[in-house]
């Protein structure tokens, strides 16, 4: 069985912690591990499970690779989507990868990278049941046993018992209902929440896609054929994949096939789709509060309060969410946290970077933290990991002044190569090619001061790059 981990979400409902360039699957929201890492960890103990295939946005490739490396996990493949096209094409690409490696009848266990599952033995049991049905050429989905009426999930109505113990025929899929309809579903007792997780043979999924959505399969085939491979990534053909129709597995295949079955999953599942959902799975104090970071609370109940940097003090709050990051504070009643997405929309319309990036931005070589910005200047704290190197590059509109705070920097400036140690500095004029490398064994820390008429991150012309970013 090959786990296929879908890691393409943007997580806008968990703003300001989750941003489009650093979404929730890469954050340690519930445990000290990120949600992507937890998805991999919960596979431990499942018999016959191989290394995972991860499908992600190409902008997130280095975060995926780094978080797997931290765990000592080597992916079977990391497939990079140049644009988002929903789950059906993403899984088709993973199936094509399995077929190309000579395992067309191996089972694919399709998982989202940003779900919480509390009861791991129950999850393993459901996967084992699903594997039995999938081995007999069924397309299996998991239906979460509901704990109450929920308007934020789609539903699956089960039909007759299947040929495999613990499975049922799928009678129909249902869109997200209103509260009265959701309550009726719960009272009926034959509806599940739609988990968005699946098990099927790679060959069976591709066959079903060929039957029900041949245009999508053709586009995916072309994108896969046009892909470029490196030791770490498979970069899919941009033009072909951009032309691919966007659709979910449910719409493209599962609602149309006569081979769909559902396996109940009662394992403490939560898709953590909002701050209220995160409050539900978080540990709480005696007042029902989840308090994270430097937080003081007085007469506050059933609230989620998180501080990333500053002291956050709250008085007299009930059923509220307060989240502080280095560049934003969000306050909302728990009952209205789904509307946080509207804030993200406003930020995008205004062209503000807070919709996409944190002040601290991770790169394959380390990270930078924008500590000050003015009309014609910007100051950054830069940390370069041992053995890492920034691309050989130049800028048309800005000059840079580098000051080493910790470690030793190997600097290329034009035709010069120099070593800078603590308290030493250099100046990079506009238009001068330059690069930076940490050849030491401790992180290199620097302060970079930029000056010029334009300070955007897109003013970079790369000539050499270890990380395959020459086209970005």
What is the percentage of the chain residues whose pLDDT exceeds 90?
86
pLDDT, mean of residues 451-459: 91
* Range of weakest confidence among 18-27, 39-48, 340-349, 461-470: 461-470
Torsion of CA 99, 102, 108, 113, to 10 degrees: -80
Task: Tell me the residue ranges of DSSP E strands in 316-376.
Answer: 320-324, 329-333, 360-363, 366-373
* Rounded (10°) angle between helices 87-100 and 202-212: 130
SS3 category, 384? strand
Q: For residues 81 and 57, is the Cβ–Cβ distance under 8 A? A: yes
pLDDT band at 121 (very low <50, low <70, confident <90, very high): very high
Q: For residues 312 and 322, is the Cβ–Cβ distance under 8 A? A: yes
Mean pLDDT for the chain overall: 94
- The per-residue pLDDT for 231 is 85
pLDDT at position 472 over 60: no
pTM greater than the 0.95 cutoff: no
Q: Which domains does the chain have, with CATH numbers?
A: 2-270 (3.90.550.10), 275-340 (no CATH), 360-464 (2.60.120.10)
**Cα three-residue angle 343-346-350, rounded to 5 degrees:** 140
How many Å apart are CA 253 and CA 108, to the nearest integer? 15
Round the CA-based radius of gyration of the chain to a whole number and report it.
24
pLDDT at position 17 over 90: yes
pLDDT band at 470 (very low <50, low <70, confident <90, very high): low
* Range of weakest confidence among 123-127, 213-217, 226-230: 226-230
Task: Tell me the residue ranges of DSSP E strands in 36-112.
Answer: 53-57, 77-81, 107-112
The tens digit of pLDDT for each residue in 73-101 reads 999 999 999 999 999 999 999 999 999 99
How many Å apart are CA 134 and CA 259, to the nearest integer? 10
Name the one residue in this structure whose structure tokens are 């929440």.
193
Kindly list the distances between the CA atom of residue 464 and the CA atoms of 47, 129, 409, 434, 470, in Å, as whole numbers in the listed order: 44, 50, 18, 10, 7
**Tokens describing residue 49:** 């499970």
CA 123 from centre of chain: 21
SS3 category, 179? helix
pLDDT band at 294 (very low <50, low <70, confident <90, very high): very high
Torsion of CA 307, 56, 248, 35, to 10 degrees: -40
């Amino acid at each position: 069985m090959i786990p296929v981990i879908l890691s393409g979400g943007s997580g806008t409902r968990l703003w300001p912690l989750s941003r489009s360039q650093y979404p929730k699957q890469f954050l340690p929201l519930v445990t000290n591990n990120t949600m992507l890492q937890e998805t991999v960890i919960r596979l431990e103990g499942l018999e016959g499970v191989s290394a995972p295939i991860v499908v992600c946005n190409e902008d997130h490739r280095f975060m995926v690779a780094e978080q797997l490396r931290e765990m000592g996990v080597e992916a079977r493949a990391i497939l990079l989507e140049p644009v988002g096209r929903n789950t059906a094409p993403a899984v088709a690409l993973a199936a094509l990868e399995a077929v190309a490696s000579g395992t067309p009848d191996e089972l694919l266990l399709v998982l989202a990278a940003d779900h919480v599952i509390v009861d791991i033995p129950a999850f393993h049991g459901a996967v084992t049941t699903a594997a039995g049905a999938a081995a007999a050429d069924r397309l299996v989905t998991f239906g979460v046993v509901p704990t109450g009426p929920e308007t934020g999930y789609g539903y699956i109505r089960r039909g007759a018992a299947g040929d495999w113990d613990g499975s049922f025929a799928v009678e129909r899929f249902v869109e997200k209902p209103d509260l009265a309809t959701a309550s009726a579903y719960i009272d009926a007792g034959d509806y599940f929440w739609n988990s968005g997780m699946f098990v099927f043979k790679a060959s069976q999924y591709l066959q079903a896609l060929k039957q029900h959505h041949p245009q999508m399969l053709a586009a995916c085939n072309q994108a896969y054929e046009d892909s470029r491979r490196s030791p770490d990534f498979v970069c899919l053909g941009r033009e072909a994949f951009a032309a691919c129709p966007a659709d979910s597995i449910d719409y493209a295949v599962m609602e149309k096939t006569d081979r769909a079955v559902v396996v109940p999953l009662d394992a403490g599942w939560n898709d953590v789709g909002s701050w209220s959902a995160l409050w539900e799975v978080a540990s709480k104090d005696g007042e029902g509060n989840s308090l994270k970071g430097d937080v003081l609370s007085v007469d506050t109940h059933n609230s989620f309060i998180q501080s990333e940097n500053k002291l956050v003090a709250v008085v007299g709050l009930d059923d509220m969410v307060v989240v502080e990051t280095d560049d934003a504070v969000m306050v909302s009643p728990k009952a209205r946290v789904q509307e946080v997405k509207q804030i993200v929309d406003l930020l995008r319309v205004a062209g503000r970077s807070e919709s996409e990036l944190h002040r601290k931005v991770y790169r394959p070589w380390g990270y930078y933290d924008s500590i000050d910005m003015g009309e014609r200047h910007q100051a950054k704290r830069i940390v370069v990991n041992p053995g890492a190197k920034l691309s050989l590059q130049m800028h048309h509109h800005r000059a840079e002044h580098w000051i080493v705070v910790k470690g030793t920097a190997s600097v290329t400036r034009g035709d010069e190569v120099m070593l800078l140690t603590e308290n030493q500095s250099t100046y990079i004029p506009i238009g001068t090619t330059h690069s930076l490398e940490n050849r030491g064994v401790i992180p290199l820390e620097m302060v970079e001061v930029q000056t010029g008429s334009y300070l955007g991150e897109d003013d970079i012309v790369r000539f050499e790059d270890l990380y395959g970013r020459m086209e970005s």
